[in-house]
């Protein structure tokens, strides 16, 4: 997405709140610039009907912590990630595989790895461990947009950027598409309570480890009901 020069280096949370306030004045906006952690999770979740998990790719400790805090309250969570032109949505609810099982690590291990990554102290093996865990969990089928010299489709570029730069290639036009995808599923989930009096023809998003994917480049739209557990090799 485009970024104003005067916002570089500013908190994403604060800048988002300012943009929201600029277009609407009839909502209450609570901002957590310090992020989600043990001291903020319960307040953040209080009164929530549903949570949209857009926690940063590498912040796996914060992700697991938030999911574990929401679970006792029965709060469903939608996770949305984008790579290239593809958008992925996972639904976590009571019937879902817990996110820590999907990632294959405990809260303690994830938090320790997150801290080491944020401080630049993670080893290449640890960085690879986190990358593989997140990809296996949330982006199980990386988009493939080009062919290599042998004619086979590849996603080497995506993996190389993740390993070397810690960044996933995201086209500037797609976060808006992905946000709309997740926002629509959030709205449809919240409207589901009206289904008895106003039946709707709406595709059901399966609980994790199922997921839905939409790729604007290939027009590939799929609902994956289930998938085998990932086989994680050593880096």
The 10s digit of each residue's pLDDT in 109-158 is 999 999 999 898 999 899 989 999 999 999 988 888 877 777 776 777 77
Query: What is the rounded CA–CA span in Å between residue 214 and residue 169?
Result: 16
So what's the pLDDT on residue 1?
41
Helix axes 124-138, 60-70, angle to 10 degrees: 40
β 77-83/51-53 pair status: parallel
Q: Mean of the pLDDT values across residues 21-50?
A: 88
User: Residue 202's pLDDT is what?
Assistant: 83
Among 50, 45, 19, 23, smallest CA distance to 32 is for 45
Q: Percentage of the chain surpassing pLDDT 70? A: 89
**Please, which pLDDT band fits residue 230 given cuts at 50, 70 and 90?**
low
Per-residue model confidence (pLDDT) at position 208: 95
Model pTM score: 0.84
Residue 177, helix vs strand vs coil:
helix
The per-residue pLDDT for 233 is 46
Instruction: Say yes or no to pLDDT of 2 above 50.
Output: no
Tokens of 108: 């303690």
Choose between 102 and 167: higher pLDDT.
102
């Amino acid at each position: 997405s485009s970024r104003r020069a005067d916002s570089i280096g500013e908190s994403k949370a604060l800048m988002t709140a300012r943009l929201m306030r600029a277009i609407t004045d009839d909502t209450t906006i609570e901002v957590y610039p310090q992020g989600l952690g043990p001291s903020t999770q319960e307040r953040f979740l209080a009164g929530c009907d549903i949570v949209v998990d857009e926690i940063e790719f590498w912040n796996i400790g914060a992700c697991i912590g938030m999911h574990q805090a929401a679970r006792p309250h029965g709060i469903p969570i939608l996770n949305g990630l984008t790579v290239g032109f593809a958008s992925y949505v996972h639904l976590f609810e009571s019937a879902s595989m817990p996110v820590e099982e999907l990632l294959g690590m405990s809260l303690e291990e994830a938090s320790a790895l997150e801290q080491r990554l944020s401080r630049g102290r993670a080893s290449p093996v640890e960085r690879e461990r986190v990358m593989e865990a997140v990809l296996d969990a949330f982006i199980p089928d990386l988009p493939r947009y080009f062919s290599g010299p042998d004619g086979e489709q590849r996603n080497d570029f995506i993996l190389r950027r993740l390993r070397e730069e810690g960044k996933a290639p995201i086209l500037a036009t797609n976060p808006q598409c992905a946000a709309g995808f997740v926002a629509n599923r959030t709205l449809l989930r919240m409207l589901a309570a009206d289904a008895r009096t106003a039946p709707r023809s709406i595709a059901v998003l399966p609980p994790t480890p199922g997921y839905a994917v939409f790729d604007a480049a290939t027009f590939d739209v799929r609902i994956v009901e289930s998938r085998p557990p990932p086989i994680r090799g050593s880096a």
